[in-house]
A and B are shown apart, each in its own frame.
Chain A
Amino acid sequence: MIKVFIAGGLVAIAIILAFIQKIGIVKDLSFGAVRSFIQLIAVGYIIQFVFDLKGVLYQSLLLFIMVLIASYTSRGRAKKSPHAFLLSLISIFTGTFITLGVMLLMRIITTEPKFLIPLGGMIIGNTMNAVSIFLERFYNEFKERKNLIEVFLSLGASPREASKELVKKSVKTAMIPITNIMKIVGIIQLPGAMTGMILAGASPLEAAKIQIIVIYMLSASVAIAISLLALISYRFYFTPSAALRL
């Protein structure tokens, strides 16, 4: 705990400097310091509680609750997109389930809470971001290019053919964050998991190996979720007789 207070002392110095120089960030910095302290201690307790839940069933339930919350958050971002919650739920669940499932089956990870919960959380969070970007982008593109889509339909295109370009664009946009992470990982910044492992005493090579697994898991889950959305999301924009619903 002393180490924490020493680090806190550095923040206090920063606050004093800000106060002397009147740069107007004293309030934000003070609140931020207190808030992060409370939040992280609380999260520490929660994770400790979760780690004590040894049963796979409890962990699965907790992961499912996380998927529900992520779907709700994604719906909040892509509010106007039709059936945003349902689409988020299906895609985030499938991406997470398949990725974690394969990792477990291949014995790359075990069902220990120290693996399942943090990795699950990272996967769900990253997949949620990609899903909400896809849903929002697709809705906006669709709304903007509604008349053109109707031209395609009137020429005999199926809903899939008529929305092909928009789906492609939305997939590309949704994949940008994860592909960017893959591009810069280890060059511009060391990812959190790797830094954490090195700080906890693991060898840099071991930490790198785990980080590679994490990155691959994240990108796999995102790719699965987005591919699924590309297959199903456009259908909600059309009637069974291939007319626009919007």
Chain B
Amino acid sequence: MILYKLSSVTKIKSGKKILDNISCEIDKGKIFVIMGPSGSGKTTLLRLLNRLEDPSEGEMFFNGEDIKKIDVRELRKKVAMVFQIPLLFGEKAVDNILYPAKLYKIEVNPEEVIELVGLKRDILNQKIDSVSVGQAQRIAIARSLVLNPDVLLLDEPTSALDFSSKIEIENLIKDLNKNLGISIIFVTHDLEQAKRMGDRAVLIVEGKKIEEGSIPEMFENPRSSELKKFLKGELK
């Protein structure tokens, strides 16, 4: 089943082409990795998927439907996003869990949600400025799970974390995919992470799609010279 279909998507910002004629398909229920060097347009591509930005040209389909025809609020209920820097709001961690539930007027059990991301219940009443970055990122992930999304978009969510927290978050994301069936679309410039995490991947360099395929295929038999260079660490 196809989750997203992008057809000749171009994004121009301040006269500069950030994404150039990207076409690709993203499968439902998998972990899809958008990889590429810094400044290649990965984050912009991710942001198009829940309409935090719109393409300048081209078409996008979500579950077979033109994304522009879907009510943006409904789309964002199904497609949650976790940002690179975990920004928490309110006074306590629990405020972050209650916020989306309040917006959509749904009941939520904060304890259940916080346990989903491997945190203890007592963190809910902790002040947001007293939690670690790793805990903040978990709370941000918990917050995005409140609405039971079908898709989780993650923009380099481990870049601000130390190695052990990074592995923990990776495992958490894999569990969410496996146990809750949430499709994951993950942006990273970290090769090893892409290898550890993904089922399929796309390589974006200077806004252009270079190669797309399954992770083993791309890492073992790279076709393009750019992917070969990226794998050797020559593209940063």
Contact = CB atoms under 8 A, between A and B. Distances in A.
Contacts of B68: 241
Interface residues of B, number: 23
A29 to B, nearest CB: 51
A147 B143 CA distance: 16
A55 interface: no
Nearest to A153: B52
A158 B85 contact: no
Contact of A155 (B51, B72, B103): B103
A242 B77 CA distance: 13
Contact of A147 (B80, B83, B147): B83
B52 A157 contact: no
Contacts of A152: 89, 99
B72 A154 contact: no
Contact of A241 (B72, B89, B100): B72
A185 interface: no
A157 B89 CA distance: 14
A157 B54 contact: no
Contact of B51 (A148, A151, A157, A243): A243
Contacts of A147: 83, 85, 87
Interface residues of A, number: 17
Contacts of B89: 148, 151-152
A156 B103 contact: yes
B87 to A, nearest CB: 5
A71 B80 CA distance: 41
Nearest to A148: B87
A173 interface: no
B83 A156 contact: no
Interface in B78-128: 80-81, 83, 85, 87, 89, 99-100, 103-104
B100 A156 contact: yes
Contacts of B54: 239, 241, 243
B76 interface: yes
Contacts of B16: none
Nearest to A242: B72
B76 A153 contact: yes
A156 B85 contact: no
A150 interface: yes
A156 B104 contact: yes
Contact of A151 (B73, B87, B104, B147): B87
A161 interface: yes
Nearest to B140: A151
A152 B54 CA distance: 18
B103 A157 contact: yes
Interface in A103-161: 147-148, 150-158, 161
Interface string B57-81: 0000000000010001100110011
Interface of A: 147-148, 150-158, 161, 239, 241-244
Interface of B: 50-54, 68, 72-73, 76-77, 80-81, 83, 85, 87, 89, 99-100, 103-104, 143-144, 147
